[in-house]
Amino acid sequence: MLRVRIILAALICASGTLASAQDETQKKAKPTGGAQNTPMESEITPELDDAVAKGIEYLVATQLEDGAWASGRFGKNVAITSLACLALMADGHIPGRGPYGDTVDRGVEFILESTAENGLITSQANNGPMYGHGFAALFLGEIYGMTPGGDNARTTRIHETLVKAVRLIEQTQNEDGGWRYNPVPYDADVSVTICQIMALRSARNAGIEVSSEVIDRAVEYVRLCQNPDGGFKYQISSGNSAWPRTAAGIASLYYAGIYEDDAIDRGLAYLESNALPGKSSATRSHYFYGHYYAVQASYLAGDAHWALWWPAIRAQLIATQNDDGSWDDRSVGKPYGTAMALIILQMPKRYLPIFQK
């Protein structure tokens, strides 16, 4: 049976790391003191529960009839739809389970219907299709890994779509090891690259075969984007460090299977010095995008990093929620800001497989 074969493949793959072909000098031992193993006291507060409940109500109310979410000039968008569904899944809602399982199910259908024959997942007004593709492939990987089922037509369809999405990512990696806005292997930047790395990690966790060579080359690209100050630049050619892409760079290494490394330590130090909520004057540009990766980086770093970052971002997000349950993102729109805020606030629930080492 298809599902059985996939589960067996996942068990076989689990014996190694995604970055198995990396040099022996790179440390990949999985620490036991990470946040996923040692929850802090009072990680989840009544105020957080209230904020999440209101945010989820807003998202459910703004889903369109065809399962999509639209946001301003971005129209119906596979990235925003995927993030909105991930926000619901982070609260335990999946097809066939939870009060809003049907909402997620409609989102799955929209993503499946938005897949081209070559595997690219895209939709109307999609600015930078590889952004949307990466988030959509991540969503399908999480759905496939979390949804119980057998060899039914829907499971097969999700599997086939996910495999095609993974193969497109592998085929469009550029010679430096990264990805850019369009599905052609000519250019790259660190922000699009992290989207593809997370998608590949999620697919691999769900039992889909992923090329270790592709991951190794992606790691080398990300390393070349780090500046001497520990921060990450946008592209390897040039650029100043910035906290949102630094968070993405750290997360890239973690999701490639590297858990202990000087590049991670220097990146975390830069991030905490330049973007700790309430303690720094970090720019609001790309706020939700940056904190989406920053909370993942601190969570996977665990211990003191998580203890420092989590209460700060939790307090800031709860304080900035709108009365209707949404969060504002002036660049992309409320559905996007709300989805990102909810994913961040629900990290301690530990439901999504992608956030586990």
Which option is the CATH number for 2-11+47-355: 1.50.10.20, 3.20.20.140, 1.20.1250.20, 2.120.10.30?
1.50.10.20
Question: What whole-number distance in Å separates Cα of residue 343 and Cα of residue 299?
Answer: 13
> Is residue 94 helix, strand or coil?
strand
The answer to whether 33 touches 305, Cβ cutoff 8 Å, is no
Residues in contact with 87: Cβ distance below 8 Å, sequence separation at least 6, in sequence order: 55, 56, 59, 338, 339, 340, 342, 343, 346
For the chain, percent helix, then strand, then coil, each to nearest 5?
55, 5, 40
Residues in contact with 61: Cβ distance below 8 Å, sequence separation at least 6, in sequence order: none
pLDDT surpasses 80 at 70:
yes
Average pLDDT over residues 226-231: 98
pLDDT surpasses 70 at 104:
yes
Average pLDDT over residues 15-40: 47
Token couple for 186 = 């000519």
Question: What whole-number distance in Å separates Cα of residue 155 and Cα of residue 135?
Answer: 19
| Closest-CA residue to 218 (of 242, 244, 185) | 185
Q: Please give the residue that has the higher pLDDT: either 357 or 294.
A: 294
Report the Cα–Cα distance between both ends of the chain, in Å, rounded: 28
Question: What whole-number distance in Å separates Cα of residue 271 and Cα of residue 269?
Answer: 5
pLDDT surpasses 80 at 32:
no
Given this model, what pLDDT does residue 5 score?
Answer: 36
| Closest-CA residue to 298 (of 286, 288, 313) | 313
Given this model, what pLDDT does residue 10 score?
Answer: 40
Given this model, what pLDDT does residue 222 score?
Answer: 98
Token couple for 266 = 């220097």
Model confidence at 33, pLDDT cuts 50, 70, 90, reads low
Question: What whole-number distance in Å separates Cα of residue 275 and Cα of residue 294?
Answer: 9
Model confidence at 148, pLDDT cuts 50, 70, 90, reads low
> Is residue 226 helix, strand or coil?
strand
